[in-house]
Amino acid sequence: MYQFNYHKPASLDEAVALFREADDPMYLSGGMTLLATMKQRLAAPTDLIDLAGIAEMTGVQVNADAVRVGAFTTHNVVAGSAEIQQALPVLSQLAGLIGDNQVRNRGTIGGSVANSDPSADYPAAVVGLGGTVHTQQRSISGDEFFQDLFETALQPGEIITHIDFPIPKRAAYRKFPNPASRYAVVGVLIADFGGSVRVGVTGAGPCAFRASGIEEVLNEHLDPSAINGVEVPDAGFNNDLHASAEYRAHLVKVMARRALSDLLKT
Amino acid sequence: MEQSGEYRIAARREDVWSALNAPDVLGACIEGCQRVEKLDDEHFEVAVKAKVGPVSATFNAALELSDIEAPVSYTINGNAKGGAAGFAKGSANVHLDEDDGVTVLRYGVKANVGGKLAQVGSRLVDGAARKMADDFFAEFSKRLDPDSVAVATAATDTDAAEEREFEKSGGWLMWVVAFVGLAIAVILAF
Cβ(A157)–Cβ(A16) under 8 Å? yes
Chain A residues with CB under 8 Å of B54 CB are 26, 33-34, 37, 42-43, 115, 150
Average the pLDDT over B144-165 and give the result.
47
Chain B residues with CB under 8 Å of A206 CB are 127, 131
CA distance B77 to chain A (A): 24
pLDDT of B147 higher than 80: no
Q: Which of residues 90-119 of B touch A (CB under 8 A)?
A: 116
Average the pLDDT over A152-157 and give the result.
96
Range of the domain at A122: 55-166
C-beta atoms of B84 and A148 within 8 A: no
Average pLDDT, chain B: 74
> In terms of domains, do A13 and A47 share one?
yes
Parallel, antiparallel or unpaired: strands B102-114 and B151-152: unpaired
> In terms of domains, do A69 and A97 share one?
yes
> In terms of domains, do A121 and A20 share one?
no
Per-residue pLDDT band at A113 (split at 50, 70, 90): very high
> In terms of domains, do A136 and A98 share one?
yes
Q: Which residues contact B83 (CB under 8 A, 6 or more apart)?
A: A41, B57, B58
DSSP code, position A30: S
> Would you state the pLDDT for residue B28?
87
Task: Name the phi and psi angles at A138, rounded to 5.
Answer: -165, 175
Minimum mean pLDDT among A52-66, A151-165, B89-103, B131-145: which range? B131-145
> Would you state the pLDDT for residue A74?
98
> Would you state the pLDDT for residue B83?
78
C-beta atoms of B53 and A150 within 8 A: yes
Per-residue pLDDT tens over the stretch A179-227: 988 999 999 999 999 989 999 999 999 999 999 999 999 999 999 999 9
Contact B56/A at CB under 8 A: yes
Residue B71: cis peptide before it, omega within 30 degrees of 0: yes
Contact A118/B at CB under 8 A: yes
> In terms of domains, do A185 and A219 share one?
yes
Measure the CA–CA gap between A45 and A189, rounded to whole angstroms. 35
CB neighbours of residue A187 within 10 Å: 31
Task: Name the phi and psi angles at B58, rounded to 5.
Answer: -100, 125
Choice between B33 and A173, residue whose per-residue pLDDT is larger: A173
pLDDT of A95 higher than 60: yes
Which percentage of chain B shows pLDDT scores above 90? 9
Average the pLDDT over B88-102 and give the result.
88
| Cβ-based contacts under 8 A for chains A and B | 71
Chain A residues with CB under 8 Å of B190 CB are 36, 40
C-beta atoms of A43 and B56 within 8 A: yes
Domain of A9: which CATH number?
3.30.43.10
- The whole-model pTM stands at 0.83
Per-residue pLDDT band at A266 (split at 50, 70, 90): confident
Smallest Cβ–Cβ distance between A240 and the set B53, B158, B187 belongs to B158
Smallest Cβ–Cβ distance between A240 and the set B56, B120, B124 belongs to B124
> In terms of domains, do A192 and A234 share one?
yes
> In terms of domains, do A104 and A176 share one?
no
Cβ(B89)–Cβ(B117) under 8 Å? no
Which CATH architecture does the domain made up of B2-187 adopt?
A: 2-Layer Sandwich (3.30)
C-beta atoms of A40 and B116 within 8 A: yes
Chain A residues with CB under 8 Å of B129 CB are none
> Would you state the pLDDT for residue B119?
57
Per-residue pLDDT band at B171 (split at 50, 70, 90): very low
Average the pLDDT over A237-244 and give the result.
88
Average the pLDDT over A131-146 and give the result.
97
Chain B residues with CB under 8 Å of A33 CB are 53-54
> Would you state the pLDDT for residue A112?
97
Average the pLDDT over A238-248 and give the result.
90
Per-residue pLDDT tens over the stretch B30-83: 888 888 888 988 898 989 887 777 888 788 889 898 999 989 999 988 888 887
CA distance B7 to chain A (A): 14
Domain end position, chosen among A166, A184, A208:
A166
Chain A residues with CB under 8 Å of B116 CB are 40-42
CA distance B84 to chain A (A): 6
Domain of A252: which CATH number?
3.30.390.50
Average pLDDT, chain A: 95
Domain ranges of chain B: 2-187
Chain B residues with CB under 8 Å of A42 CB are 54-57, 84-85, 116, 120, 187
Contact A119/B at CB under 8 A: yes
Domain of A145: which CATH number?
3.30.465.10
Closest to A224 (Cα-Cα) out of A200, A247, A253, A204: A253
> In terms of domains, do A143 and A157 share one?
yes
Q: What is the number of structural domains in chain A?
A: 3
Contact A76/B at CB under 8 A: no
pLDDT of A27 higher than 60: yes
pLDDT of A241 higher than 60: yes
Rg (CA), chain A: 18
CB neighbours of residue A184 within 10 Å: 30
Closest-CA residue of chain B to A115? B53
> In terms of domains, do A162 and A182 share one?
no
Per-residue pLDDT band at A158 (split at 50, 70, 90): very high
Closest-CA residue of chain A to B49? A43
Smallest Cβ–Cβ distance between B52 and the set A44, A149, A238 belongs to A149
Per-residue pLDDT tens over the stretch A60-81: 999 999 999 999 999 999 999 9
Nearest-10 crossing angle of helices B13-20, B125-144: 120
Domain end position, chosen among A151, A166, A181:
A166
> In terms of domains, do A37 and A102 share one?
no
* HSE, side-chain direction, 13 A CA sphere, residue A241: 15
SS3 sequence of A109-150: HHHHHHHCCCCCCHHHHHHHCCCEEEECCCEEEHHHHEEECC
> Would you state the pLDDT for residue B167?
30
Which percentage of chain B shows pLDDT scores above 70? 69
Per-residue pLDDT band at B162 (split at 50, 70, 90): very low
> In terms of domains, do A59 and A48 share one?
no
Beta strand ranges found along chain A (DSSP E)? 5-7, 25-28, 47-50, 60-62, 66-70, 132-135, 139-141, 146-148, 151-152, 160-166, 170-177, 184-192, 197-202, 209-210
Closest-CA residue of chain B to A45? B56
> In terms of domains, do A149 and A62 share one?
yes
